[in-house]
Amino acid sequence: MEAINNLISNGAVEDVLFYVFAALTLLCGALVIANPFSRSPVTSAMFLVLTIISMTGLFVLLHAFFLAAVQIIVYAGAVLVLFVFVIMLLDLKEEQRRKIKFFGVAAGLVSVGAIICIFLKSLASIKPNANPPTLEGETYALGKLLFTQYTLPFEIVSVLLLVAMIGVILLSKRKLE
């Protein structure tokens, strides 16, 4: 019992959970873009859901509880339903027959290699904060910040959502008049 308590207080469980969620996120992310078994966009969408849910686990490990809830509700709930709905509307059977072009893979790997080099260089130059993290991303603190310091961006975002809604209705009308 004492050993288990020791493990928890030292943060070893959190570390193991981090590696589990990180591996799950990266694996599902890779399966979104290149699935060896199926090229159907539906499979990609399903693995995107898994990526987002495992990323929510990472958010919880970072004590960003409110954002974890928002991520589940907005991304896994709304955005992915929208994706699946559009896939249903379109007839995408043809996609599965098309081959991935070699040139595209080569160009992608070159650009990804370049960006990985930049990332590793910048990662080496980051000095972590000496203080241990004490921040809690709870709803109360976040809401307070949102309605005092960030009131103007909040209002602008609400206008943006309204504009997006009107735009979507206009775009999906059959005839623009």
Residue list 124-163, contact with another protein (CB under 8 A) = 126, 128-135, 137, 141-142, 145-146, 150, 153, 157, 160-161, 163
Q: Does 86 bind another protein (CB under 8 A)?
A: yes
Count Cβ atoms within 10 A of the Cβ of residue 18 and give its class: 0-12 exposed, 13-18 middle, 19 or more buried. middle
CB of 124 to another protein, least distance (A): 9
Q: Which helix (H) or strand (E) holds 86?
A: helix 80-89
Among 55, 56, 60, smallest CA distance to 13 is for 60
**Integer Cα distance of 88 and 91 in angstroms:** 7
CB of 128 to another protein, least distance (A): 5
Query: Scanning residues 1 to 30, which ones bind another protein (CB under 8 A)?
Result: 2-3, 6-7, 10-12, 14-15, 18-19, 22, 25-26, 29-30
Tell me the site size for another protein, rule CB under 8 A: 90
Query: Scanning residues 55 to 84, which ones bind another protein (CB under 8 A)?
Result: 55, 58-59, 61-64, 66-67, 70-71, 74-75, 78-79, 82-83
CB of 168 to another protein, least distance (A): 4
46-82 burial, b if ≥16 CB within 10 A, otherwise e?
bbbbbbbbbbbbbbbeeebebbbebbeeebbeeebee
